[in-house]
Structure 1
């Protein structure tokens, strides 16, 4: 009886913990694919879960931070979604690679052309962004999620230090420190170029290794043949010597 009460109490406690933890995992969030270093470029994924049992998410809007505008924002094509880029004039022009930029992307909107994000599923919305600010430790985005029943959820509440997590927290991208060699990161094209260079080097190394291995194999075969010849000669000599002794 006592054991059953303990088991029941444990089940209730586990259910309570699960009930408290599930909403935290259902928030719209943003994570980088690799490092998001200050002053560099990064590919970031906005993860949007469907929190409803009877409706699909059909539109997602991501508002970029106005206090740290990003000069380069490029979405990745997604099957089943159309994308719209909205630009705005900057109060203070940016200077990127010696070029002044007077406007920047302020919002990216994805609209479902199919079923959208159905109940029980989530969708990632990738963006290539840069140049990341050097004077900030994090970027705060504001996301708006729309369901096919016209319900709108605004993930726009900032997290205040020392306070509990808000009901609809805004996605926050943490920035890492720039590397010591001065390289802050690279664009997707630069990454592809950098990746190809080691590949060529590896190919050359593989070729050299293959040639060395081939030379080693040839030497081993020659030594093997020589060994066999010497062995046969030794056996023949032994047989002849034996016969001579018998004859004597």
Structure 2
């Protein structure tokens, strides 16, 4: 019994180790994750997540490149303690127009260099960036990255994932864009629609009729209850009178018997 239990324990440990190793391999890539929603045509704050994949080296530099086919007018990195950040801008072949202004330059690359800090083995670091306006003619942005270690090794996260195909060895970070919300383009949005529906339900003719019907039912019930109470009181009154008469008659008869 103990031998079988030991075998089960060992098998479970091996399976758990395999799962941990596989999960580490699958998720230990440089990736980009939005804080909330990244909608087409809007602005978003995203985190560039950089894990350290080496046991004997630390990450000291990250370069993130933006697609030339979908230039962004605004790219603002948030300061990260222990890291120096450089923003590279390039002239656009075709100016962008946003908020009624023409933009002739766009950010093509952001570089973070270790300045008193590193990403050590078994660690990761997030680098927040504000992006906008996001393009409206695509549902994703492929952001290529280079990761440099302190032993001079450079890992190129530049392979674009393809739908239906196996994940490449060094996939590029992909920012998925959701469909533009109504309020992004002057609509009401879900909250406003819910508020409008609430108002409509409260003031619609059907709602008024329902209130009137409920009031009529309540009034009828009250009247019926009052009528029933009055009837019961009358019945009790009549019963009391009859009992009184019966008592008087009984007293008279008793007096006659005594006289006789």
Q: TM-score, normalised by structure 2?
A: 0.67
Asked if the contact 1:49–1:123 (Cα under 8 Å) also holds between the matched residues in 2, the reply is yes
Q: How does 1:146-225 map to 2 (within 5 A)?
A: 146-183=148-185
Quote the residue 1:131 is aligned against: 133
Pairwise mapping of residues 1-248 of structure 1 onto structure 2 (< 5 A)?
1-183=3-185
Q: Any idea what SS the aligned residue of 1:182 has?
A: helix
Distance of 2:117 and 2:131 partners within structure 1: 28
**Which one is further off, 4-13 or 96-105?**
4-13
Is the 2:39–2:177 Cα contact (8 Å) retained in structure 1? yes
Counterparts of 2:82 and 2:13, CA distance in 1: 41
8 Å contact kept, 1:32–1:42: yes
2-structure distance, mates of 1:103, 1:145: 26
| 1:32 to partner: Cα distance | 1.1
> C-alpha separation between the residues in 1 aligned to 2:169 and 2:73?
31
Shift of 1:143: 0.8
Runs of 4+ in 1 over 6 A off after TM superposition: none
| Secondary structure of residue in 2 paired with 1:40 | coil
* Structure 2 unaligned residues grouped into runs of 5+: 187-260
More helix by share: 2
C-alpha distance in 2, partners of 1:157/1:12?
Answer: 32
CA contact (8 A) 1:56 1:115 kept: no
Give the 3-state SS of the residue equivalent to 2:183 in structure 1: coil
Flag the structure with larger Rg: 2
1:166 and 1:78 map into 2 onto residues whose CA distance is 30
Q: How many residues are treated as equivalent by the alignment?
A: 184
2:70 and 2:128 mapped to 1: Cα distance?
A: 19
How far 1:11 sits from its partner (Å)? Answer: 2.8
Q: CA RMSD in A?
A: 1.6
SS of equivalent to 1:181: helix
In the TM superposition, what whole-angstrom CA distance separates every residue of 1:4-38 from its partner, at most 9, and x where no partner exists?
33333333333222222211221111111121111
Write the distance in 2 (CA, Å) between the matches of 1:131 and 1:182: 11
Q: How far apart, in 2, do the equivalents of 1:134 and 1:65 lie?
A: 14
